[in-house]
Structure formats: structure tokens, C-alpha cells
Amino acid sequence: MRANPAVIKRLSVYLQLLRQLPPETANISATVIAKSIGYGDVQVRKDLASVSGEGKPRTGYEVGNLIKSLEEYLGFNYPKKAIIVGAGRLGTALLEYDGFKSWGLEIAAAFDADESKTDKSKRIYPVSDLKEYCKSGDIKIGIITVPASAAQQVCDLICETPIKAVWSFAPTHLYVPEGVEVQYENMAASLANILCNID
């Protein structure tokens, strides 16, 4: 069963909030969480009930346990492996960012059509090696950081490997075979939401 994306998003926001609490914070109530984030009280209670059961009256949730429950529910408790296609600035930024592990992602390698970018010490390989690299099925996620004009071609190539999940940063729609899921990191949509609210 597929989880509801809006619920998953809220759960990850709770986790972000909880992880940034001072370490001495032992308990937190749904009301405080709701107020901190600007969600409704009932919403927070309902979301957390599905993951962790009810908070205790007066004291609320035990922070450490709630973090653990959320991490397990969201699949952040052990990292899954990904590869990047497109070793430009964004691709290499993602490749070298070591914060992804706490969000359940380990980026194993990056690939680029420009062979002059190949650098094994930085885990950057020619794109012609991609299918061989992914054939064991160990790599679960393909991240696309090429320009929009090249994204469909790269996506097709990823879909020839056992990878079933694509995370695309290219501002374009992608066509995939049945059974493959695409998650768009749609910066253009974020931007539109910002710009629409500027006078």
C-alpha cells in the first residue's frame, strides 16, 4: 500500500522539529509540536497516533522514542543506496553532502556523459558504466540532475536497470514504465509558490 504523500511530508517535518530540540528535552506534547510548526492540534495527534500511539496526558510523547518511531516509519533507520546521473554542480553537491544518511539515503556514485568528469576518487564514472554498476539490484534510487533537455533520455537509461524509484531535479515531466515511481524535486513549483505571494 502506498502511503499518503501529504501525511509522509508532515511526518518528516515532525522529525525535523524533534531532531533539532535541545538534547535535554525529554518530552513534548502534540500541542507544542502543532504550535511550533503551525499545524492544527488534531492533525498532529492523528498523524502521530498512526506512527507511535497516543502521547501521555500532561507529559506528551517521549522525544527519543518518537524520533525512533518516525525514523522507522519513514524508512530513515537504515540508508538505501542511490546513484546520481549528472555530475554538474548540483549533482556533485548532492554527492558530497553527508547529511543524507540521517534521511535514509546513501549516494554510492555519480555518472556523467562527459567522460572528462570521470574521477574514481570522487566516485564519478562515465554514464556508459551505469547499467553494469546497477545490475546487482543493490541500488534502489536513481537521482537525475541533468538539464531538462537530457532528463528523459537519462530516465530511460535508469529504467533499463533494476532501479524502481527516480528522484528528479530536472524541471520537466518524465515518462516511465509501469512499476517505476518518479518523485520530482520541483523547485519551479516552489518558486511559483513564492513568487505568487510577493507583491
Which stretches of the chain bind a copy of itself, using CB under 8 A?
A: 2-3, 5, 8-9, 11-13, 15-17, 19-20, 36-37, 74-76, 80, 88-90, 92-93, 96-97, 99-100, 103-105, 140-141, 147-149, 164-165, 167, 171-173, 175, 181, 183, 185-198
In whole angstroms, the minimum distance from the beta carbon of 101 to a copy of itself comes to 11
- Of 73 and 133, CB closest to a copy of itself: 73
Kindly tell me which of 26 and 93 has the beta carbon lying closer to a copy of itself: 93
Least CB distance to a copy of itself at residue 128 (A): 25
The count of C-alpha atoms lying within 13 angstroms of the C-alpha of 54, restricted to the half-sphere facing its C-beta, is: 4
Cell, residue 42: 488534531
Minimum separation from the CB atom of position 82 to a copy of itself (A): 9
Name the 3-class secondary structure at 163. coil
- Tell me the three cell numbers of residue 30: 502534540
Give the containing element (helix H, strand E) for 106. strand 105-112
